[in-house]
Amino acid sequence: MEEKIEKLNSYDWKVRDLFIEDKIETLNKMFQNHGGYFYVAQKKALRDTLLSIIKGKRSLVYTNIRAEYEDLVKKLELETIIKLEKGSVADAKKELFDVDVGILEPDAIAAESGSIVLFDFDGTKSFVAFLPEIFIAVAEESAIFDTVPEALGNLIKKYSKMPATIQIVNGPSRTGDIENKIVRPSHGPKDAYLFLVK
């Protein structure tokens, strides 16, 4: 395993000849191209924007968010707020079958492709990103990299081990399988939000 990681650390994960002048602007453009919503929010304004998104919703699930956001999320006025951590799989499935909102902090963001990158060791991040109707990722500016390969190279170094899955999410789910007409959602979330908190 260690040998494997060492080898991975020796790759050149940078995409040559690619220079992104304004990461945030590129990210904004790309994530919207995918059909997602992108916000740069001041910490103070985050709560209000979240409130407007979850208006009328009933349930929320979250995982992997830092304490200050957790406080904020816990205080949102919703019927059910679930923190997804180790527990009964059957219960989690029951609770998440028609959960409205999912929130997490992604491991990295890639500007060039407008991607949310998740290193998932126990399945919780995948559940939160795939099952709810609305998926919200709250990221800090330091999580932004130029490209997906660059983000992966950095995360492998950071964790020094490979997760069970790496999930790369580019906006909300969609299909064009009937006469090329694009419809959202298909089986995943209908809306995807990416917040960059300053």
Partner 1 sequence: MSYKQVHKKILKALKKEDLRKGSEAATKDELKKRKYAIATHKYSLDWAEDVKNAKSTMLFDVVSSVEKFRKAFEGKNKYFYFARTPQDLKNIIAEIIKPGSTVVKSKSMVGEEIELRQFMESHGIKIYETDLGEFLIQLANEKPAHMVTPAVNMSEERARQLLEPVVGEKLNDVTSMVLGVRKFMRKIFFSADFGMVGANALSADTGSVIFITNEGNGALTSTLPDKLIVITSVEKIYPTLLDAIKAVTTQAIFSGFEYTTYVHIINGPYDFYGPKEIHLILLDNGRIRNDDLKETLLCIKCGACQFACPVFQVVDGAWGYIYTAAIGIPWTAITNSKETARSLAAFCLECGKCREVCPMKIDIPELIRKIKAEEV
Residues at the site binding partner 1, with contacts judged by CB under 8 A? 4, 7-8, 11, 13, 15-18, 34, 84, 86, 89, 92-93, 97, 113-115, 120-124, 126-127, 129-131, 148-149, 152, 162-181, 183, 185-189
Query: Closest distance between partner 1 and the C-beta of residue 60, in Å?
Result: 17
Query: Closest distance between partner 1 and the C-beta of residue 46, in Å?
Result: 25
User: Which residue lies nearer to partner 1 by CB, 48 or 91?
Assistant: 91
Q: How far is 57 from 147, CA to CA, in rounded Å?
A: 34
Query: Closest distance between partner 1 and the C-beta of residue 97, in Å?
Result: 6
Q: How far is 156 from 6, CA to CA, in rounded Å?
A: 10
User: Which residue lies nearer to partner 1 by CB, 73 or 156?
Assistant: 156
Query: Closest distance between partner 1 and the C-beta of residue 23, in Å?
Result: 17
Helix (H), strand (E) at residue 26: helix 23-33
Residue 64 — φ and ψ, nearest 5°? 50, 55
Contacts 24+ apart (CB under 8 A), 54-58: 54/78, 54/100, 54/101, 54/134, 57/100, 57/101, 57/134, 58/100
User: Which residue lies nearer to partner 1 by CB, 68 or 177?
Assistant: 177
